[in-house]
A and B are shown apart, each in its own frame.
Chain A
Amino acid sequence: MMRRKNAILTAAALATAATLGLAACSAGAGNSAGSDGETPTTATIALTGPPTNLDFTTTAGSAIPQALMSNVYEGLVELDQSGEIVPLLAEEWTVSDDRTTYTFTLQEGVTFSNGDEFTADDVKFSFDRVKTDWVSSLKAKMDVVDTVEVVSPTEVAVHLSAPSNAWLFSLATPVGAIFSEDAVDDLANAPVGTGPYAVGSWTPNESLVLDTRDDYWGEAPGVEQVTLKYFADATATTNALQTGDVDAIANLQAPELLSSFEADDAFVVTTGTSSGEVSLSLNNRAAPFDDVRVRQAVLYALDEQAILDTAWNGYGSLVATYATPTDPYYEDLNDVYPYDPEKAKELLAEAGQENLDITFTVPTRPYAQAVSEIVVSQLKDVGINASIKSAEFPAVWLDEVFTQHDYQMTTVLAVEARDILTAFNDPDYYIGYDNSTIAPIAAEADAADEAGYVAGMQEVARQIVDDAASGVLFLFPNITVSKAALQGMPENAIIEALDLTNLSWQ
């Protein structure tokens, strides 16, 4: 017995000594790549909110398309940084006179990362597959497609059941991604697309490594390997940039951490625009917000500039609707409800709701926590007593607010691009807006020509604002911090994709 115990103790002692001894000799011996003066060929980008898997056809959220669209998957068209629809896998396209047939001429010599050649058959396969295999209401964006006709290997005609402006835009979003028929068995782990990068390795919740493809049809990206690293905490992210573990932060979620970077020449800070509205959603179907006067009172009671300054250090911009300045139909509607507490009180009195008690359901997200206190204090000034109820995001928020519509007022970051109709043209959506007035206008606008589309959608947006359907506190900024030598980080996030194909080192 005694001997055995000694053996155990000796082994333990040796193991400990070995660990510590090695620790002592190796400390400080490591060296990070790229510090030897040569131009680096890799870049590491910090992101928040990791994708749970790599299949956006069956899993929600912007994290998967953020990483994969533009980089791994490509569509026939894409959106440029100013919001214009431009060609990508389609060289060009024509629209029939009745606006129901789009004929695309495809790029030649395009291959998928598994070596398969890209042809018109893949377009047909991908578009058809949205209707059959996608598990997400996004698939509805393809409902308007009647048939997809392969004219020749490089030509495909898409017949719509009715003209649709929204459809061509949708082609630039994930539903327009082109897949190879042979490579859709394990999309969650092994995506295959025509983009300049292929997934090199993928560690859930940690990192995604994108490697350049030698056989990419277009211009090769300036950086051979991009690693996306996921952080749960904004401070950890900025620490990683400061110590050189990452080269850039895409979409920093804590503007208060920016000051040290702005003062330092080694870093560049850009604040672009995004498609994310920080909403103040009011439940139109439940008291007290089923009364338009009470909803209007809330909008008059809020000083959005003060909210933006307090909650988000002034970064971001003010929009009054779900339309953003990069949308073709955007119109500045900020003046409809100026900050006017007296007017708010009048409206509340008219509605018989002086001294109103409401519950404000706040999801556990940085932006939501940041806006909640100031919103509550501004509402208090006009006699609305909002008590904050915290809801764990996403689980509890989705369950209570989104699914059961069990809330009065909430806030959420609505990130999807051109989502005004998603939010307001559906009375079953959690906001519960009565869409009977806007539905016919929206349908007409979708079928009209470009000018008619813009005019119709503006009418829709104005109607929603007139009805005070809900508020938008501010448009989320896209704050990017990168090492000064790293060029080409996209400034705006107007669509889910984080396009990393223009990165380069100076």
Chain B
Amino acid sequence: MAIRILINLARFAVTYVVATVVVFLFMRLIPGDPAQIALGVNATPELLEQTREQFGTDRPLIVQYLEWFGGLLRGDFGTSYLTRTDISPMVLDRVQVSLILVLTAMAVALLVAIPLGTWAAVKHRSFSGVAIGLGSQIGVAIPGFLAGILLVMIFAVGLGWLPANGWTAPSVDFGDFIRRLILPVVALASVQGAILTRYVRSAVLEVMSEDYLRTARAKGLSKNGALLKHGLRNAAIPVITVTGVQIAALIIGAVVIERVFVIPGLGSMLLDAVGNRDLLTVQSVVMVLVAITLILNLVVDILYTIIDPRLRRSA
């Protein structure tokens, strides 16, 4: 198992380094000169030259890359061209916001999906089981931003129960933090919940047809008892994988939700930075997203090994 984890860690490091090169080069390929954007329509060639020098974008690409990469290793993302402040603390702030949003949404989605999906599988021939299957299918088809806009129209603008947008840090005003969290979390969780419900349902259905469950029942356990004692643990494996993948997808998907709800997370930071060609900020945010995705993969892999004893022996 230790070897397995070591291999995973090595893969993690290599992927990360390759990603830095790709991200760096892509940012240099898109049109738009940061100096030009900072100066806008008031730019003259001399001022542009002066500003490029100040930003360091006039230096050879390899020098720019190595400097940035060296900073990354030290946890220092550098100074934003445009805001003239250190990027690291800003990204840290934004990561917290996005993670709170996404993890809460994921927790809510799982809390809904596990019982609903299991129920839908166990009762897959009954009316309620079919209804859940159908409902989750509709849920999957509704884009999160649309759900967000509808929620705002109904609960914020229409009924006035909750704020339409904005963010308050929990340390500032916890009540307000929760009030502002509810709608975006519901928007994200409803779609996620639907996706996960379908996964849980099919995972449990599959497990129910396995031999060991029949054996357990032959030994005298009830259908539900057998499922609870032996089935759910196995059904959990594909669900964990999908949860890991979905958390990564959610962080990316939250970009739109952050826009709809004016939430200062990584997503809105990324959009603003791309629009302004604040290259260092874009690169840094993207690398944080890459890191989160890779770490999730790592965690999923390790959890796998823990839950499924067969994997512990192989490798």
Binding site for B on A (CB under 8 A): 1, 4-5, 15-16, 19-20, 22-23, 26-30, 50, 52-53, 55, 58-61, 135-138, 188-189, 203-206, 229, 231-233, 235-236, 239-240, 242-243, 245, 392, 394-396, 398-400, 402-403
Contact = CB atoms under 8 A, between A and B. Distances in A.
Contacts of A28: 161, 179
Contact of A60 (B42, B50, B174, B175): B42
Contacts of B306: 1, 4-5
Contact of B277 (A4, A50, A395, A403): A395
A30 B40 contact: no
Contact of A240 (B54, B104, B166): B166
B160 interface: yes
Nearest to B152: A239
Interface string B66-88: 00000000000000001111000
Contacts of A245: 163-166
Interface in B164-196: 164-166, 173-176, 178-179, 181-182
B111 A16 contact: yes
B225 interface: no
A205 B281 CA distance: 13
A395 B82 CA distance: 13
Nearest to B84: A188
Nearest to A188: B84
A233 B259 contact: yes
B84 A203 contact: no
Given A240-B166, A245-B163, A20 B111 contact: yes
A163 B254 CA distance: 57
Contact of B268 (A16, A23, A232): A232
B39 A27 contact: no
B157 A394 contact: no
A26 B43 contact: no
A60 B84 contact: no
Contacts of A23: 178, 181-182
Interface stretch (B14-22, B30-38, B116-124, B127-135): B30-38
Contacts of B166: 229, 240, 245
Contacts of B272: 50, 205, 232
Kindly list the 6 A-B residue pairs having the minimum CB-CB distance in the complex, ordered from nearest.
A60-B40, A395-B32, A239-B164, A52-B82, A188-B84, A30-B175
A30 B42 contact: no
Given A5-B307, A30-B175, A394-B32, 7 more contacts: A27-B182, A53-B83, A137-B47, A189-B84, A189-B85, A233-B262, A396-B32
A204 B276 contact: no
Interface residues on B, range: 35 or more
B175 to A, nearest CB: 4
B93 to A, nearest CB: 9
A151 B46 CA distance: 35
B161 A240 contact: no
B107 interface: yes
12 contacts: A28-B179, A50-B272, A59-B38, A135-B39, A206-B264, A233-B259, A239-B157, A245-B165, A392-B275, A394-B37, A394-B275, A394-B276
B41 interface: yes
B222 interface: no
A410 to B, nearest CB: 12
B298 interface: no
Contacts of A52: 38, 82-83, 276, 278
B182 to A, nearest CB: 7
Contacts of B37: 394-395, 398
A121 to B, nearest CB: 27
Contact of A205 (B31, B54, B152, B269): B269
B31 A400 contact: yes
B178 A30 contact: yes
A30 B181 CA distance: 12
Given A27-B179, A399-B33, A53 B39 contact: no
Contacts of B276: 52, 394-395
B290 interface: no
A52 B272 CA distance: 9
A392 B271 CA distance: 13
Contacts of A233: 259-260, 262
A55 B80 CA distance: 14
Contacts of A205: 264, 268-269, 272
A148 B50 CA distance: 26
B209 to A, nearest CB: 26
Contacts of A27: 178-179, 182
Interface in B190-234: none
Interface in B45-103: 47, 50-51, 54, 82-85, 90
A459 B304 CA distance: 80
B40 A242 contact: no
A26 B38 contact: no
Interface in B264-295: 264, 268-269, 271-272, 275-278
Contacts of B182: 23, 27
A136 B84 contact: no
Contacts of A50: 272
A456 B277 CA distance: 41
Contact of A137 (B43, B84, B152, B278): B43
A239 B31 CA distance: 34
A1 B41 CA distance: 64
Contact of B164 (A229, A240, A403): A240
Nearest to A186: B84
A236 B307 contact: no
Contacts of B51: 58, 135
Contacts of B269: 205
A336 B209 CA distance: 83
B278 to A, nearest CB: 8
A314 to B, nearest CB: 25
A60 B41 contact: yes
Given A240-B166, A242-B164, A396-B32, A136 B268 contact: no
Contacts of A242: 156-157, 164
Contacts of B149: 235
Contacts of B179: 26-30
A15 B104 CA distance: 10
A138 B264 contact: no
B175 A29 contact: yes
Contacts of A55: 84
Contacts of A188: 83-85
A55 B54 CA distance: 15
A261 B237 CA distance: 53
